[in-house]
Every structure is written in structure tokens, then in C-alpha cells.
Amino acid sequence: SLEEIDDELTVMIVDARQAVRFTREDGVEARADELLADQTARTATLVGNARVGRGPTTISGGNLKLFDEDRRIEVFGAGRFEHMADDRLVIDATWDIDMSYSDVTGMLDASGNVIATHTPRDGWKDTLQAHRIHAEIESIEESDAIVAVTDDTTAAGDDGTRVAEVTSEPADGPADDATAPTEIATATEADEPDAQPGLELTELGANRRVTAMHATGLVMDLEDGVPASFESTRYEDGTLVRAFRLIGPEIDATESEIRMDHPGRLFVADLRHGDDTQDLGDRRGTALFDWKKDLVIDRVDGVMHMRRQVRMIHNASDGGEDTLLDCEELTAFFTETDEGGELRQVDAKGAVYLATRKDKELRSELVADALRYDAVGRTSTALAHEGRVVTLFDAERGAPFSAEALFWDLNTDRVEIRDPELVSVPR
């Protein structure tokens, strides 16, 4: 429909059907079975096999709606976000219920079996799964738009005939750059070549980055529900060398911290071959953590803290004995390397139980009030509160061994009595 405004005919509504497509001079393209553009409302609706994008980035679904006022896109029903780089799919996200993103607020929400994968290079893959995901995206500087309702948009039918040209200006006057009235984040390959396994907040090109993310599972129960999860894997020559998997009812992440205020599990694996050995069976090991209250990971300092009924199972780097640790409060320290974080030290407090296990059989067991475990050297220093003792039971020794403070080498089973005043253990 047309209206006369300032002695000029202006297109107010465009209704196009059957293999509709429209393009912009800056490369934005959209296709759908039907297009309805409303100049007054400054919206455009794409229905049926709808697809909109610019360059290597596209958003698709059965029903898409673009809002010019707050530079927003909504996808009703199942949809997909894709970004290509170097002729391969780098970012791929799908959802079953809906998705919305506003370039003004930087808020992105998707729900319904959301699965997002990031493959920055061959052998690297990060996967986030949740029932609902909320992300906060920060604009570093102005960028080119992916989709827009207005700005010299041309719609055409399946015969290529021009249907309409729609132009408008923002309510506050002409934009300095008429090519970018509406923007959707453009994702590109990670700029950092040494990005490591872990819950990294993806940078969406040079002008966009995710600063916060909240992922929610379908049911708020770790055992019976469908939890949120993040998994990061690294392969070399087809062999898994590093892995990180975090699961729980909810996952909150910022650039400096990861938090889970619910029971959860974390699996970390460093399966690279040792640099100082030719034995291909020499592995750096795996660690499995679970807890009943909460988890906080300080991403800056490499410190992880978890509380209540905490359990850690650390597999020996040489494939030998497993180390089992139960306590009420655990703090793990990681050392950053060129290849990623390595478990260095664990501090445990409250009803501490430490044991070694070989072929599913317990070898030695220790009970203490506080303990420091050296994950690299597989040694531990245990301390008892005043008036109590540390007790170590070894199946081969038969009788238990007790003292106020003990040093235990888990590799050789060497035990030393220490002065409790000189022991460096969290109390």
C-alpha cells in the first residue's frame, strides 16, 4: 500500500508471496515464502523457510520478525544460527521453541533444547546445551548490520520483478551511517590461537563479545532432570588430548567467574603424552568432581571452590592408582600452561577422607580434619584439630597409624609424622 507523504508516494506496507527474497546494497539477504513489511510499525515478518543473513552469517527458521526500533530479531519456533569461516561451519546453534536478540540491549535469549557448538579450528570443539540460554552481548564499536527492516530494502518475487523499495530514518533523525540502522552480532573465528578448553565466552567478531551467560536445564534436578552442560574437547590426530565438561541445573558465567549455586559435576582430562617420556602409556590424568551445594571458579586466578559432600576422583597420570577424596569443602588450584590449565593442588576441610584404589580395591585410607593434596607429586599432608588425630590405615601394614599431623607419599606409601605447628594445611 502507498501513502502520499510530503507530496511523495511512500510505500507503507509490502505483502509479497511465493519465493520472496530481498537484498540490500551492503550484502544483507533474506528469503522466505512470504514477506510482510510494515513501514509504520517498522517491522518485517518472514514466514516459511525464512532465512536472513549477511556474508558468512545466517539466521533461519519458520517464522522470523525484525523490529527496526530496537534493532531486534525474533524467531518463533525452531531455528538455527550459522557462521562459516574458511569454508567450514565455525558456529552452529539450534533451538526448538524461540530465539530473540536485540542489538540495542545486547540481550539474547533462546529456549527449547538449545545446542550451540563452536569449532574455532580443526580438532577443537566447544558445546553448550541447555533448555534455556540468556546471554549478554557487548558492542565494542559500530559494526555492519546483518538484518534491517529499512534502509533501501528491495523485495522481489520469484520472477525477479521488483516489488517495493522501503526507506525510512530513525526517529531521532538520519543515522551517520545509513547502512547500519539494525545490527545482529556477526560471529567470526576466535582470534586467540591458544584458546583453551573451559567455559570461554565467545567473541562474536571484532565488534561483539559475550560478557555474561546463564544456561538453565529443563528440570532443576541433577539426577532426574535434563541439566545444562558445557563441554570442551581438543583432539590431535584423531586422539582426545584434553576435555572439560561441566553439568548442573544452572550455569552462570562471566568473563572472570563461573558459578553454579546447585549440585553439579565437573570432569577435567589432560591426556597429552608427557614431554619427558617415550612411554605412550604415560598420561597426565583425569579428575572428576561433584558437590551438593555450590561451585565457584575464579577464571583469573585459576582457583575452584566447592562445598558440601564434595568428592574428587583423581586418576594417576601413569595409569596406576586412583586417588579418592571426600570432604565438606574443597579448593582446587590450577596452573596455566600453553596448552591449558593443569590441576596442581587441592585443599580439603571438614570430615576429610583420602584413599588410594587399584583395580577397584582400596589400598590405603586416611581420615583427617584438613588436608593438602599435591596433584602433581601425588603427596598429601594431613592435620587433625586439637585433641584429635589423623588416622592412616594400610591394608599391607594391618594396624592403623595415627598422629596429629602426617605426610603421606601416595606413590611409595612412605609416611612421616610432622609437627602440626609447622604443617602448611588449611585449618
Query: pLDDT tens digits, residue range 164-202?
Result: 333 333 334 333 333 232 222 223 333 343 443 444 444
Q: What is the pLDDT of residues 43-76, one digit of tens each?
A: 889 999 999 887 788 899 999 998 888 788 899 9
Topology of domain 1-196+206-216, CATH: lipopolysaccharide transport protein A fold (2.60.450)
User: What residue type is assigned to position 316 of the chain?
Assistant: A
Longest dimension (CA), the chain: 102
The whole-angstrom separation of Cα 184 and Cα 168 is 19
With the C-alpha atoms ordered 164, 16, 160, 75, is the resulting torsion angle positive or negative? positive
Tell which wins on pLDDT, 238 or 398: 238
pLDDT number for residue 317: 61
Could you tell me if 73 and 165 are in contact, meaning their C-beta atoms sit under 8 angstroms apart?
A: no
pLDDT number for residue 143: 47
| CATH (one of 3.40.50.1820, 2.60.450.10, 2.60.120.200, 1.10.3720.10) for 263-427 | 2.60.450.10
The whole-angstrom separation of Cα 82 and Cα 64 is 15
pTM of the model: 0.74
Which residue spans of the chain are classified as CATH 2.60.450.10? Answer: 1-196+206-216, 263-427
With the C-alpha atoms ordered 233, 237, 238, 241, is the resulting torsion angle positive or negative? negative
Q: What is the pLDDT of residues 127-163, one digit of tens each?
A: 889 999 998 877 655 444 444 444 444 444 444 333 3
Tell which wins on pLDDT, 336 or 420: 420
β-strand pairing of 124-139 with 228-236: antiparallel
- As a whole number, mean pLDDT of residues 258-276 equals 83
Could you tell me if 282 and 317 are in contact, meaning their C-beta atoms sit under 8 angstroms apart?
A: yes
Q: Name the pLDDT band for 220 (thresholds 50, 70, 90).
A: low
Tell which wins on pLDDT, 106 or 385: 385
Q: Output the nine-digit C-alpha cell for 46.
A: 518472514
pLDDT number for residue 6: 57
Residue of 133, 299, 307 lying closest to 228 (CA atoms): 133
Question: Per this entry, what is the length of the chain?
Answer: 427
Q: Output the nine-digit C-alpha cell for 139.
A: 558492542
The whole-angstrom separation of Cα 418 and Cα 347 is 18
Residue with C-alpha cell 580438532?
A: 123
Tell which wins on pLDDT, 356 or 148: 356
pLDDT number for residue 340: 53
Q: Name the pLDDT band for 211 (thresholds 50, 70, 90).
A: confident
- Please check the confidence at residue 82 and state whether its pLDDT lies above 60: yes
The whole-angstrom separation of Cα 59 and Cα 184 is 10
pLDDT number for residue 139: 64
Give the distance, in angstroms, between the CA of residue 194 and the centroid of all CA atoms in the same chain: 17
Identify any residues that bridge with 371 across adjacent strands, giving them in sequence order.
348, 382
- Please check the confidence at residue 37 and state whether its pLDDT lies above 50: yes
- Please check the confidence at residue 426 and state whether its pLDDT lies above 70: no
pLDDT number for residue 140: 56
Residue 226's contacts (CB-CB under 8 Å, 6 or more residues apart) are 131, 217, 218, 219
